[in-house]
Amino acid sequence: MKRIGVFTSGGDSPGMNACIRAVVRSAAHYDTEVIGIRRGYQGMIENDMARLEMKDVANIIQYGGTMLKTARSKDFMTEEGRRKAFNHLEKHGIEGLVCIGGDGTYTGALKFYDEFGIPSIGVPGTIDNDLYGTDYTIGYDTAVNTALDAIDRIRDTADSHNRVFFIEVMGRDSGFIALNAGIAGGAESILLPEIMSDFGALISHFENKSRRRKDFSIIVVAEGEKDGNAFEIAKKFQAKFDMYDIRVSVLGHIQRGGKPTANDRILASTLGSAAVKSLLDGVSNMCVGVVNHHVRLTSFSDAINKRKTIDATLWELSKILSH
């Protein structure tokens, strides 16, 4: 291949710029041109793309977000939209794609290959860390540390006022951020989408007469918690324990932005470079990831359909440390 395309799609995550930088510089090392596609699949449909030179990716490694912008494209879900996208890729002489995003991005790339034969390599860019085939996704470490910083600050005011704080973190379908930030932040309880009846366990924990007396408490809730969001859970909790002064904080999109940590910059650089090498080696319909500190390839099909589970050891640890 002499010319490849790179784009970011779906939700942004810290480290995407580091990944784009690695793609461009690695491609240059192999004497391959890179076309940057803005706004993901939507930009592909609208022909919003241009060549990326080495100078274009200088001084971006430290910034959150994505220089190529990102979007979710309903048009790409139609055959007509995908046909337009293919025609524009053909016009630019693009022979393969590096797709940075989540399972929706991978699904689009797989569909694109089935219809038009465009080979793609996926790179896991999402703060949720819920993609199968990699121990960590780009942006996850930064998001956990951002959430932890907020929890530490809230802990100060919870302590000062003897309050119970329900802190909602991102994780619509997964509790990776909640579990790790909760343990690191000394949460008394953590509620995850993967764990059934954890609200009942929370109530039992506070009703337990052997529970250590505390002046304040931090409870971390993943936004996808089955018993409701943090406000709903706090309301139900208040109905049981009206003696507590309860507050709710929803961290929201601050977890998606900010400077990527060193771990995310290194992960993004490693996977961006590996994606280019894989594509030039003739690999297609696979995504790169790091498993046990080694770069591994996983099929799009497995990454999309197989579910990554939370670490059961960490979940048990969270319960031990909450007493």
Q: Is the pLDDT of residue 222 over 90?
A: yes
**Could you tell me the two tokens for 136?**
């960590």
pLDDT at 208: 84
pLDDT band at 278 (very low <50, low <70, confident <90, very high): very high
Structural domains present in the chain: 3-139+260-305 (3.40.50.450), 141-256 (3.40.50.460)
Edge-to-edge order in the sheet of strand 294-299: 49-52, 33-37, 3-8, 97-101, 120-124, 286-291, 294-299
pLDDT band at 322 (very low <50, low <70, confident <90, very high): confident
Q: Is the pLDDT of residue 212 over 80?
A: no
pLDDT digits (tens, 9 = 90+) for 21-70: 999 999 999 999 999 999 999 999 999 999 999 999 999 999 999 999 99
For the segment 250-257, the average pLDDT, to the nearest whole number, is 95
Please identify which of the residues 12, 48, 103, 128 carries the catalytic annotation. Answer: 128
First to last CA, the chain: 58
For the segment 290-299, the average pLDDT, to the nearest whole number, is 97
pLDDT band at 173 (very low <50, low <70, confident <90, very high): confident
pLDDT at 201: 87
User: What mean pLDDT is reported for the chain?
Assistant: 95
Tell me the three-class secondary structure of the chain, residue by residue: CCEEEEEECCCCCCCHHHHHHHHHHHHHHCCCEEEEECCHHHHHHCCCEEEECHHHHCCCCCCCCCCCCCCCCCHHHCHHHHHHHHHHHHHCCCCCEEEEECHHHHHHHHHHHHHHCCCEEEEEECCCCCCCCCCCCECHHHHHHHHHHHHHHHHHHHHHHCCEEEEEECCCCCCHHHHHHHHHCCCCEEECCCCCCHHHHHHHHHHCCCCCCCCCEEEEEECCCCCCCHHHHHHHHHHHCCCCCEEEEECHHHHCCCCCCHHHHHHHHHHHHHHHHHHHCCCCCEEEEEECCEEEEEEHHHHHHCCCCCCHHHHHHHHHHCC
Q: What percent of the chain has pLDDT over 90?
A: 88
pLDDT digits (tens, 9 = 90+) for 233-252: 999 999 999 999 999 999 99
Phi, psi values for residue 217, rounded to 5°: -145, 150
- What's the pTM value of the predicted model, to 2 decimals? 0.95
Least confident window among 205-209, 247-251, 295-299, 303-307? 205-209
Angle at 88 between CA 83 and CA 93, to 5 degrees: 125
pLDDT digits (tens, 9 = 90+) for 177-192: 999 999 999 999 999 9
Q: What's the rounded Cα separation, in Å, for the pair 320 and 42?
A: 47
Which is more confident, 199 or 237?
Answer: 237
Q: Is the pLDDT of residue 323 over 80?
A: no
pLDDT digits (tens, 9 = 90+) for 92-101: 999 999 999 9
Q: What's the rounded Cα separation, in Å, for the pair 303 and 281?
A: 21
Phi, psi values for residue 289, rounded to 5°: -160, 175
Question: Is 152 assigned a catalytic role?
Answer: no
pLDDT digits (tens, 9 = 90+) for 75-129: 999 999 999 999 999 999 999 999 999 999 999 999 999 999 999 999 999 999 9
**Could you tell me the two tokens for 180?**
């790790």
